Amino acid sequence: MQTDSSFTFVLFGGTGDLSMRKILPALFEAHRAGGMLADSGKIVAVARHAADRAEYLQWVNEHVKPHVSKNGVDEAAWTSFLARIEFVKIDLGNPEDFAQLRDAVRDLPGIRVFYLATGPSLFVPICHALASVGLNENARIVLEKPLGYDLKSSNAINDAVGEIFAEEQIYRIDHYLGKEPVQNLLALRFGNALFEPLWRREWVESIQITIAEELGVEARGDFYDNTGALRDMVQNHLLQLLSIVAMEPPHSMDSDSVRDEKLRVLRALKPIDPNEIGKVAVRGQYHAGGIRGTPVPAYATEPGVKADSTTETFVALKVEIENWRWAGVPFFLRTGKRLADRVAEIVVNFRPVPHSALGVSALRAGANRLVIRLQPNETIRLYCLAKQPGEGMNLASVHLDLAFDQFFREGQMEAYQRLLLDVINGRLALFVRRDEQEAAWRWVEPILNEWMASHKPPKPYAAGTWGPAAASAMLAQHGTCWLEEEN
């Protein structure tokens, strides 16, 4: 496979929300930085909602520009970026139109990257159409989530795509794996003698992984009501973060070494007993409430959502890993919409010291803790106890802070920017391999099946809170609480 940096980046869904908010802004930032993209590289947008290139560039000016460069747009860089963009008007439902795409890219340079920023129902038809005009050679294809509705449908898509593209050509993207703190988690664990000896059951009491959103379903009511939080967030983002946190040291940082270790974690997840799901899994749905003083409606009244919907907008899980490193350590996973804050973080709670001559505060849970914040501010914070100034041995919690934007002068790379550069340069380590995806679906499915079979409605929670009380009760049974509850 070609490995030089020359490329032709073909963007299906070129007028879609993901292209406007994430993909094209990420490509612009790489272009603006200089040296990250080959000068000869081209972007070919594919859509049917623009008449020609001029109309498409006008669309890009209106819808992409607001999402790039927080400190303003460099007009010279923007103009030269637009010069990279070509446009092909295609009806994705008409395979004969793909001959136009073949003719448009035939003489363009380098590796071809096909990014499918479309609904998953179009993945297989697009792949077949690409193959019909010979565009599956010397190519890489990027698949956005969700990849299927369950294990069976996921396998059906993977089987069909795998008939046309080899596994090393397929990049299943999970943008959380491209975030800077996730990369630094690997550096923290495997580059520092301080942490690796402590990263095990003897020293870790519990681990929390949270992805919380203030937003509701927005304009995705139809999609979300047929998906839910377990499929939308747990099966991919949360289990991928869990595997990064819990994996063994890889032999090297090459793609298969890293993904082999992640797979071992996913295969070591303790299977969920359907009879125990009520004790280890909480599902909720937001009702009317308020976010920072602004009233918001209930999920069931959102556009595109059925009035009697039982789709979950919140999930909390207690997860165990059955291996020597983690046996007996609870991992608490949580995600939800319309929660009190927008935050994604990993919290590692170390065990208190076994005996303290300094008083009971040194024995309390959470006295020693590592908090890895993924959003909105990307930081790593290590909490420990120190003596307060003054008379007596009074202890207080203090922290050591690594704020990336303050420590490193160069700007941080956004997740999509890093991942798109990895695709162009043929680096697979941060993308999900098929066997990882299958292992995640296989673990999640018993929960899905039990929830569907039980016909029990999700537990209600008011928008603007941290979810159902049952999620807090689940942690209380283990003598702990969610981080924001302690604070």
- Over residues 217-237, the pLDDT tens digits come to 988 889 899 999 999 999 999
Average pLDDT over every residue of 186-207: 91
Indicate if the pLDDT at residue 261 is higher than 70: yes
Least confident of 2-11, 139-148, 356-365, 419-428: 356-365
Average pLDDT over every residue of 51-60: 93
Average pLDDT over every residue of 87-105: 93
Domains 7-172 and 177-412+434-486 share a fold: no
Least confident of 25-39, 326-340, 382-396, 398-412: 398-412
Indicate if the pLDDT at residue 403 is higher than 80: no
Q: Tell me what pLDDT residue 384 has.
A: 84
Indicate if the pLDDT at residue 1 is higher than 60: no
Average pLDDT over every residue of 434-459: 94
Nearest to 429, CA basis, from 147, 168, 185, 191: 168
Q: Tell me what pLDDT residue 386 has.
A: 81
pTM recorded for the entire structure: 0.92
Domain over 177-412+434-486 is classified CATH 3.30.360.10: yes
Average pLDDT over every residue of 246-261: 93
Nearest to 313, CA basis, from 381, 193, 215: 215
Average pLDDT over every residue of 138-146: 92
Average pLDDT over every residue of 462-471: 97
Average pLDDT over every residue of 398-415: 74
Q: Rounded to whole angstroms, how far apart are CA atoms 283 and 292?
A: 24
* pLDDT band of 398, cuts 50, 70, 90: confident
Is there a catalytic annotation at residue 31? Answer: no
Binding-site residues for NADP(+): 48, 91-92, 145
Provide CATH code, domain 7-172. Answer: 3.40.50.720
Q: Tell me what pLDDT residue 15 has.
A: 92
Average pLDDT over every residue of 455-475: 95
* pLDDT band of 437, cuts 50, 70, 90: very high
Binding-site residues for substrate: 175, 179, 213, 232, 337
Question: What are 319-339's pLDDT values in tens digits?
Answer: 999 999 999 999 999 999 999
Q: Tell me what pLDDT residue 72 has.
A: 73
Domain range annotation of the chain: 7-172, 177-412+434-486
Give one word for 166, left, alpha or beta, with left for phi > 0 and alpha for psi -120 to 50. Answer: beta
What's the chain's average pLDDT? 91
Other Cβ atoms within 10 Å of 39 Cβ, number: 12
Residue 359 vs residue 383, higher pLDDT: 383
Q: Tell me what pLDDT residue 363 has.
A: 58
Note whether 36 and 30 are within 8 A (CB): yes
Catalytically annotated residue among 31, 63, 128, 237: 237
Q: How remote is the C-alpha of 470 from its chain's centroid?
A: 25
Binding-site residues: 48, 91-92, 145, 175, 179, 213, 232, 337
* pLDDT band of 8, cuts 50, 70, 90: very high
Average pLDDT over every residue of 125-140: 95
* pLDDT band of 71, cuts 50, 70, 90: low
Contacts of 33 (CB under 8 A, 6+ apart): none
Q: Tell me what pLDDT residue 2 has.
A: 37
